[in-house]
A and B are shown apart, each in its own frame.
Chain A
Amino acid sequence: DAEITQSPRHKITETGRQVTLACHQTWNHNNMFWYRQDLGHGLRLIHYSYGVQDTNKGEVSDGYSVSRSNTEDLPLTLESAASSQTSVYFCASSEGGLGTTDTQYFGPGTRLTVL
């Protein structure tokens, strides 16, 4: 079955380290998204991509970067982890393209702790 996966599911790191969170989808969806979820804020969009080689900043993109080298993967990199980036991170994908819905499907999440 097609799916969207994230790894690792849990990560503990130290301030200043570079961290990469993986997201992989097998639906062949054009659009992929990264969100963070914190108490009191709900889900906030970090970056999104319409397709290969396309990336765009979301609401809370400072300190994060993404790259899209193929359809299936959108890794999220924290260049220099900060304690404020302790959060739960969700990846999502949607079909994209004319005539499709905007429905997004989410991965299981990665719980990141920055000490």
Chain B
Amino acid sequence: RKEVEQDPGPFNVPEGATVAFNCTYSNSASQSFFWYRQDCRKEPKLLMSVYSSGNEDGRFTAQLNRASQYISLLIRDSKLSDSATYLCVVIFRGGFKTIFGAGTRLFVKA
């Protein structure tokens, strides 16, 4: 079993739709959690950190569920420009180990 797992998709949604991605992790010692966005052939860029209390940034909401060991990303009112690959990232501070999920591909259509 991979330490961090994501549904690879692709998710094909129309503009204006709401879409949700999940990411599960296997190590309960995980310390920090993030969602990154990666456009084709470009570097990953931080989308948002993920906290137990949940956090929101405009149309994006991230949640962490430590009991079930998963993080989620909700995108509301999807835009064409949201088309990208979304990577979840889990960091284990004890061993300073960074694990990236393989990514979930999103296509937003007009």
Known pairs A90-B43, A102-B32; A41 contacts B102 (CB<8 A): yes
Known pairs A103-B49, A104-B98; A43 contacts B44 (CB<8 A): yes
Interface size class of B (residues with CB under 8 A): 20 to 34
Shortest CB distance A76–B (Å)? 15
A106 partner residues in chain B, CB cutoff 8 A: 43-45
Please tell me if B108 contacts chain A, counting CB pairs below 8 Å: no
B44 partner residues in chain A, CB cutoff 8 A: 43, 90, 106
A45 to B89, CA, bound (A): 12
A107 partner residues in chain B, CB cutoff 8 A: 43
Considering only CB atoms, which chain B residue lies closest to A35 in the complex? B100
Shortest CB distance B4–A (Å)? 8
Interface size class of A (residues with CB under 8 A): 20 to 34
User: B22-38 toward A: CB 8 Å interface, digit per residue (1/0)?
Assistant: 00000000011010000
A108 partner residues in chain B, CB cutoff 8 A: 42-43
B41 partner residues in chain A, CB cutoff 8 A: 88, 109
Please tell me if B84 contacts chain A, counting CB pairs below 8 Å: no
Please provide the chain B residues from 88 to 107 with a CB less than 8 Å away from any CB of chain A in the complex: 89, 91, 93, 96-103
- Chain A contacts to B: CB under 8 angstroms: 33, 35, 40-45, 48, 50, 56, 58, 88, 90, 101-109
